[in-house]
Structure 1
Amino acid sequence: MTFLEAIILPLRVVQAVFAIIVLGVLAYAANDWAWYWSPSQINFLIFTSVWTLLAIAYLVIAPLRFQTAAHKYGILAAEAITMLFWFAGFIALAVLLTDAGCSAHSGRYWGPCRAAIAGDVFAAFEWLLFSATTILAAVHCWRTRNTNSGKHDPTIEVQHV
């Protein structure tokens, strides 16, 4: 078992746990932000969390059980789209939180603000994790660009023990 094979399952677990954390804290922030609305930036990151859980299910299950669905470009697309969603979401929420005055120095350091800040920090880490796995998938696609094989890279596949 190579180094990549050994770290890919823990990496996927961390990605899933962070997505669940973001989902939970931002659901609280959206529910308690105001009486009649929640910001679209928070709603987008809630969507991104659910998307991530579905993408991780694809990224883990398809290479193991559905080999034809685990095409190397499909894996790369799932990784890249998820990474872009996290990047756009955490940047947009950071701008909103700055504009809303959510900081310890302002008077608006209330519960939903703190939850949104925590969710944004986890979203930034999630972006970093998906950046790493996207780079791994892109490197595999680059290395196999002149072959007719559409197979995924077995070294970034979750291995059964």
Structure 2
Amino acid sequence: MQLNFPWIYPVRVVQVVFGIIVLGLAAYAINIPVSSDTVNFMLFNGIWTAFLATPYLAFAPAFFPHAALQFVVPAVEAVTAIFWFAGFVATATILPPPRLCHGGLCNSLQAATVFGAFEWVLFMVTAVFAGLGALRTHREGRTGNAPPTTTVNLGV
């Protein structure tokens, strides 16, 4: 029995939700007059993920296969993972130690850092699978509509 489970779509939903959470936390921090370029970059990451990268990554391979060229999807995945890594590390460096972090601004930046780290992990996982799928497709000489990484073959 072969069970095909599209695991990528629940991951995309989590990526969008986390992106919106970071967007809200960064927007709150930007509203405080003492914001920095690092916080602005986290705001960009939230917007990029929730409204550009994740919708493209979710819908282009299924509905617009020509817009999801063989190596474009893995490239968007990798660039987004790099953005999140840079964002959460940079945000973590501007925060004081946890015992000195009091108040809404500091707590929101701590939360944005944690959600940013989760986003980085999620995008690293999806980037690896997209890259492996692109390499497999390239080796087999296929130009299929959807990348082969959208389903998991449990082989049961």
Give the total of aligned pairs.
147
Question: Residue 144 of structure 1 aligns to which amino acid in structure 2?
Answer: T
Look up the match of 1:85. 83
Deviation at 1:154, TM superposition (A): 3.8
TM-score, length-normalised on structure 1?
A: 0.84
Considering only aligned residues, what root-mean-square deviation do their CA atoms show, in Å? 1.7
1:58 paired residue among 56, 59, 74: 56
TM-score, length-normalised on structure 2?
A: 0.86
Whether the 8 Å CA contact 1:73–1:150 is kept in 2: the answer is no
CA deviations on 1:28-63 (whole Å, 9 max, x unpaired) are 0111252xxx21111001101111121111111212
Look up the match of 1:44. 41
Deviation at 1:8, TM superposition (A): 1.1
Please, which runs of 5 or more residues in structure 1 have no aligned partner?
none
**Identical aligned residues as a percent:** 43
Question: Residue 47 of structure 1 aligns to which amino acid in structure 2?
Answer: F
Deviation at 1:139, TM superposition (A): 1.1
Please, which runs of 5 or more residues in structure 2 have no aligned partner?
152-156
Look up the match of 1:10. 10
Deviation at 1:121, TM superposition (A): 0.3
Counterparts in 2 of 1:1-161, with a 5 A limit? 1-3=3-5, 5=6, 7-34=7-34, 38-53=35-50, 54-97=52-95, 101=96, 103-104=98-99, 106=100, 108-151=101-144, 152-156=146-150
